[in-house]
Structure 1
Amino acid sequence: MRFETRHIRPIPPDERHGTARGLFFVWLGINMLPLTIVTGAVGTSVLGLPFGWAVAAIVAGNLVGGLGAALHAAQGPRLGIPQMLQARAQFGYHGGSILALIALLMFLGFFASNLVVAAQSFAEVVPGLSTDAGIAVCTAIALFVAVFGYDLVRKLMAIVSIVLGAVLIAALVLALGNPAAFAVHRELALTPAGFCAMVAIGAVWQLAYAPYVSDYSRYLPDKTGARPAFWATYSGLVLGTVLVMVLGALVGLTTEEGNAMGALGALLGGFGAVTLAAFGVASAVMNSSNIYSGVMCSLTVLEAAFSRARVTTGTRVGMTAVYALLAMAMALFGQHDFLVVFKDFVAVLLYVLVPWSAINLVDYFVLRKGHYAVSDMFARDGGRYGRWDPVGLSCYAVGLAVQVPFMITSVFTGPLAEPMGGVDIAWIVGFASSAGLYALGKRGERNRLPHDTVECDVQEQSS
C-alpha cells in the first residue's frame, strides 16, 4: 500500500495498477451511505410520491445520470490525471480553475452533508453521543484516510462495499416485510412535477460523481481501455445507488421530521442498531473520497493561482486538514432542517455541473476523441490550451444563464417553471445548449487538434 505522492501529477505507466473489477467495487460501495438513504427519502417524504412511483423515478434518474459519470470515468486510464485538472483543456490554464473551484465547493457540501447523517446514525445507537460529537469523530476518521491517499481510500471503499452490501440487502428485506413501512398517515400522489424532480435528483446524484471518477480510474493501466472503465463505473454507481435509495424511499414513508436515520432504526427494530452502526462507519470511511477529490481540486486552483506554489506532500496534507475542518464547521452549523436544505443543494449542484459535463464530454468524445497534450495542461501559459478559453467559458456561462428561467428551488422559481407545470427541465436545457454551442464554437479547431496524445513530460516536484 503506497502513501500518496503524485497528487495532481500524471500517473506514470509503471505506477498504474488495479483492475476494472476493483473499480466496480469502489463505485458500488461509495453510495452505501446514510446520505443516499436521505436522498431516496426525499421522493416520498418531501415530494409526496407513492412508493412505487418514487422507485420508478429513482431508477430512471440514476440510469440516465450514470451514463454521464461513467463517460467521464472512461477518460482516466487514457490521460492519467485528476478529472477537474482536465478542465484546463476546455477552459484554459486559469479558466479551468473556475470549474475546479465549483467542484471543490460541491465536494465540501457533500462532505458536510455526509457528516450530518453519519453522526445522526451514531447518535441513534451510541447512548449519550451527541450529533456534534459524532460529526467530530466522523471528520477525524475521514481525515486520516484521506491524508494517506488514493491506495487506502480505494481499498477501504472496496472492503466496505462488500460488508455493507450484505447489511443493506438484509435491511431492505426486513423493511419491505414490515407493514409499518406502508402505514402512511398522509396523502401521497403522483404528480408530474414530483416525479420529474425525483428523476432529476437521481440524475444529479450520478452526475455529481463526474468530477470524482477520473481521480480513481487514472490509476488503471492504459491497456485497461475505456469500455471496462465505463462499465465498471456505470454498473457500480447505478446498482449501489438504486438499492440504497429504494430503502430510503421506504424510510421516507414513515418520517416527515428530517431524521431519516432515526426512522430507519425504528423501522428495522432490533436489526436497526446494526444497520445504523454499519452505515455510520461506512459513511465516515467513504467520506474520505470527498476530501481526497476536493483537495485535488484545491491543489489545481493553488497551482494556477500562484506561480511559485509547489504541490508537495506537505501541501496536500495541510490542505486536507484545512478542508476537513471547514467541512466540519459547515456540518455543525447546518445540521438543522437538513432535508429541505439538502434538496436545494442538490438542485443548485445540478444546475452548475451540467454545462461543464456537456462541454467536457463533447470535447473529449466528439472533437478531440481522447487526444490531448497532457504536458500543456501543466504549462504556465497553458500551451495550446491557453490561459483562458473564451469559447469554453462563454458556453459554460450561457449554459448557466439559459437554465435560470426554468429553475425551481425553495428560494427562487423561474418564470417558465409554472407554465411547465412545475417540472424542472432546466438541467436538460443547460446540457443541450452548452453541448451544442461548444461543438459549434470549436468546429474550426478540428483540423488543429493533435492526432495523438502527446507524451506527458511534466517535471516532478519533490514530495
Structure 2
Amino acid sequence: MTGPGGTAQPAAVERHTIDLVPDSERHGRPRDLFTMWFGTNIAPLPLVTGAMGVQVFHQSLWSGVLAVLVGQLLGGVFMALHSAQGPHLGVPQMIQSRAQFGTLGALLIVVVAAAMYVGFFASNIVLAGKSLHGLAPAVPVGAGILLGAAGSAVICLIGYRLIHTLNKIATVVLGLGIVTGIAVVVARGLPHDFFTRGEFTFAGWLATVSLSALWQLAFAPYVSDYSRYLPRTVRTASTFWATYWGSALGSMLPFLAGTVVALVSPNPDTVGGFHDAAGAFGPVLLILFLFSVINHNALNLYGAVLSMITIGQTFRSRWQPRLMARGAVSALVLACALAFALGLSSDFVARFVNLVLVLLVVLVPWTAINLIDFYLLHHGRYDFDALFAPDGGRYGRFNTIALGSYAIGIAVQIPFLATDLYTGPLAAHLGGADLSWLVGLIVTAPLYYLWSRARRTGDDTGHPVPAAATARDLPATPPAATDPLRPLSTEDVPG
C-alpha cells in the first residue's frame, strides 16, 4: 500500500520482527514517543513499586517522594539514550548488541533480557487477575490472569502501530484517572500521622532510589524497539527528550500515588489499598488499571518475543521471521509466563522485590557498554550486514573486551549488594545501603571505553577485526557525510 507521495504506508499488522526497517516504511514523529512512554508507565506495577519505599524501606512521605524523583530523573537518562538509537539504526536493541558482544556473545544478554520480560509479564498479569477479581469477585484470580494475558497477546501480535495508538489514548485516560484518584484519596481525608510516619534512613532511601531508577533501566533492552520505525532524519535530541520526559513523568505519577496510598491504607495490596482509599472512585480505578496492565504488558511480551526470535536467528542465520513466527513464539512465551504467574500469584511482592534487585545487577553493565559503544566508539555507525552474518563479520562471534568488561561490571557490584538473598560486606558496613548499581556504572563505562581504545587494530569501529573477517565484511571507504548512517555529530547529542 502506498500513500499520496508514493511512499509505502505502514501495515496495520506489523510485518517486521528483528530485520532492518527500510526507509520506505519509516513513519511517525519524535513526540509520539512522549505518549508512548507516558501512557505505558501509568500501570499497577509502578504503583506497587512506588509503595515499597514506605512498605518495605519504611521511608517518610518526603524522603520517599525525593527518592522516587531522583531515581526517575537519573534512570530516565540512560533509558532515553537507548531510545535515541532506534531511528538511526532501525533494528531491535538486542540485534544491535551483537556489535558490542559478538554474535554468540550477545546471547548472554539476550537470554537475560528475555527472562526479565517474561518475569515482568508474569508479574503484570498477576495484577490483571487481581484487578479483574476485585471488579467481579465471581471471577477467580487465575481466570483473570488468563484473560489479561490473552488481551496482551492480541496487542503484541498486531504490533507496533497498535501499541503506539493505545498509548496515545492511555496518556489522556490513565493520566486523568490517576490524578483524579490521588485527588479523591486526599480529599477523603488523610491519617493523622500521614506526614510523620516513617523516617529517613540512608540505606532505605538509597534502596528506594535504586528501585525507581531500575524501573527506567528495565526498559533499556527494548526501548529503541519503539523508536526504530521513526525516519532516520529525526534529530537524536528530539528523540531523547520526548522519551525522557514521557517516561519520567509517566512513571512519577504511579510511583508517587503508591507512596501516598501506602501511607493512607493499611492494605498491603497496594492496588486494593488504592481501591479502598478512593471510595466510590475505586471501581473506576480498577477498570483503568485492568486496561493499563493489558496495554503495558503487551510491551513485555513484544520484547520477550523479539529476544526469543533473536536467539533462534543466531543459530539459523538464513531464517527471516515474519508475522507467523512472531505468533508462534508469542504462544510459547505466553505459555511459560502463565505457568510462572499462576505459581507466584500467592507471594507476589516478596518475589518481585528479589527479581528487580537481581535484574539491576545484570542490567547496569550492559547499559554502560551499549551506550559507550554507540555514542563514543562507533558514533552511531554500524555494519548492518555483519549484525546478521553467521560469523559476526567484523564483530566476530565473541568480543572478549565486552564480555570481560561485563563480567567485571557484575563482579564489582557484589560487595555492595544489599538484598534478602545476600548482603555484601561493604553494603553491611554502610548500614545496608545498596550502592551496587552506581559502582557498576562507574567501573564498567570507563573500563570498556579504555580497553576498547587500547585494542584497536585498524578497523574504524573500535573492535578487533576477527581472524575470520574477509574483505566483504569491511567497507572499502567510509560513508559520505550525507549517508543516513553517518556518524553522530555534536549537533545530534541531546542537550
Q: If the TM-score is normalised by the length of the shorter chain, which range does it land in?
A: over 0.9
1:285 matched to which residue of 2? 295
Is 1:374 equivalent to 2:384 in the alignment? Answer: yes
Query: Paired residue for 1:448, among 444, 459, 462?
Result: 459
Q: Which moved more, 1:165-174 or 1:133-142?
A: 165-174
Counterpart in the other structure of 1:352: 362
User: Residue 224 of structure 1: SS of its match in structure 2?
Assistant: coil
Aligned to 1:460: none
* Residue 91 of structure 1 pairs with residue 113 of structure 2: no
Corresponding residue to 2:89 among 79, 104, 122: 79
Name the CA distance, whole Å, in 2 between partners of 1:447 and 1:73. 30
Q: Is the 8 A contact 1:368 1:446 kept in 2?
A: no
Match of 1:260 among 270, 274, 296: 270
CA RMSD of aligned residues (A): 1.9
TM norm structure 1: 0.95
Match 1:301 to one of 308, 311, 332:
311
Q: Aligned partners of 1:409, 1:257: CA distance in 2, in Å? A: 24
Alignment of 1:312-331 (within 5 A): 312-331=322-341
Corresponding residue number in structure 1 for 2:433: 423
Contact 2:37/2:247 (CA < 8 Å) preserved in 1? yes
More helix by share: 1
Q: Secondary structure at the match of 1:418?
A: helix
Q: Distance in 2 between matches of 1:143 and 1:182?
A: 45
1:318-362, CA deviations, whole angstroms, 9 ceiling, x for partnerless residues? 001111121111111101232222111111111110000000011
Whether the 8 Å contact between 2:412 and 2:439 is mirrored in structure 1 is yes
SS at match of 2:41: coil
SS of the residue corresponding to residue 144 of structure 2 reads: helix
What is the aligned residue count?
456
Q: Residues 295 and 316 of structure 1 are in contact (CA less than 8 Å); yes or no, is this contact kept in structure 2?
A: yes
State the distance in 2 between where 1:129 and 1:27 align.
Answer: 31
What CA distance in whole angstroms lies between the structure 2 residues aligned with 1:307 and 1:195? 47
1:410-432 Cα offsets, whole Å, 9 max, x none, are 11111211111211001111112
* Amino acid of the structure 2 residue aligned with 1:153: I
CA distance in 1, matches of 2:191, 2:406: 44
Where does 1:87-166 land on structure 2 (aligned, <5 Å)? 87-166=97-176
Residues of 1 paired with 2:195 and 2:241: CA distance?
A: 41
Larger radius of gyration: 2
Output the CA distance in 2 between the equivalents of 1:306 and 1:102: 20
Which structure is richer in relative contact order (CA contacts within 8 A, separation 6 or more)? Answer: 1
Q: 1:187, CA displacement in angstroms? A: 5.2
Q: Secondary structure at the match of 1:39?
A: helix
Q: Match for residue 414 of structure 1?
A: 424
What secondary structure is seen at the aligned counterpart in 1 of 2:430?
Answer: coil
Mean Cα displacement is larger for which, 9-18 or 174-183? 174-183
**How far did residue 399 of structure 1 move?**
0.6
Residue aligning to 2:474: none
Q: Does the alignment pair 1:49 with 2:59? A: yes
CA contact (8 A) 2:317 2:388 kept: no
In the alignment, what sits opposite 1:209? 219
Aligned equivalents of 2:429, 2:97: Cα separation in 1: 36
* Inter-CA distance 279–374: structure 2 relative to 1 (3 Å threshold): same
How many angstroms apart in 2 are the aligned matches of 1:13 and 1:435? Answer: 32
Counterpart-to-counterpart distance in 2, 1:455 and 1:376: 18
Judged with a 3 Å threshold, the aligned counterparts in structure 2 of structure 1 residues 181 and 22 are, in CA distance, closer, same or farther, namely: farther
How much does 1:194 deviate? 0.5
Moved more, 76-85 or 278-287: 278-287
2:402 is matched with 392
Question: For 1:189-235, what per-residue CA distance to the aligned partner results, in whole angstroms no more than 9, with x for missing partners?
Answer: 21000100000111111011111211011000011121111001000
**Do the aligned residues in 2 keep the contact of 1:358 with 1:435 (CA within 8 Å)?**
yes
**Displacement of 1:184:** 5.7
Please tell me whether the aligned partners of residues 265 and 274 of structure 2 are also in contact (alpha carbons under 8 angstroms): no
Normalising by structure 2, report the TM-score.
0.89
Q: Following the alignment from structure 1 to structure 2, what is the Cα–Cα distance between the partners of residues 245 and 93?
A: 38
* Separation of aligned partners in 2, 1:218 and 1:182: 50
Are 1:180 and 1:267, in contact at CA under 8 Å, matched by a contact in 2? no
How far off is 1:452 after superposition? 4.1
State the alpha-carbon separation in 1 of the partners of residues 190 and 318 from structure 2: 61
Question: Separation in 1 of the partners of 2:92 and 2:203?
Answer: 36
In structure 2, relative to structure 1, the CA distance for the partners of 1:239 and 1:397 (3 Å cut) is same
Pairing 1:339–2:349 present: yes
Distance 2:294 2:268 in 1: 20
CA gap 1:331/1:241 in 2 versus in 1, 3 angstroms? same
Partner of 1:17: 27
Supply the distance in 2 between the matched residues of 1:127 and 1:186 (Cα, whole angstroms).
36
What is the deviation of 1:126? 1.5
Taking the aligned partners of 1:198 and 1:182, their CA distance within structure 2 comes to 24
How far apart, CA to CA, are the structure 2 residues paired with 1:142 and 1:191? 39
- Who is 1:244 aligned against? 254
Deviations 1:51-98 (A, max 9, x none): 111111000000000000000011001000001111100000111121
Q: Counterpart of 1:419 in structure 2: which amino acid?
A: H
Match of 1:434 in 2: 444
3-state SS of paired residue (1:211) = coil
What is the CA–CA distance in structure 2 between the aligned matches of 1:13 and 1:312, rounded to whole Å? Answer: 18
Aligned sequence identity (%)? 39
TM-superposed deviation, 1:141: 0.2
How far apart in 1 are the matches of 2:189 and 2:121? 34
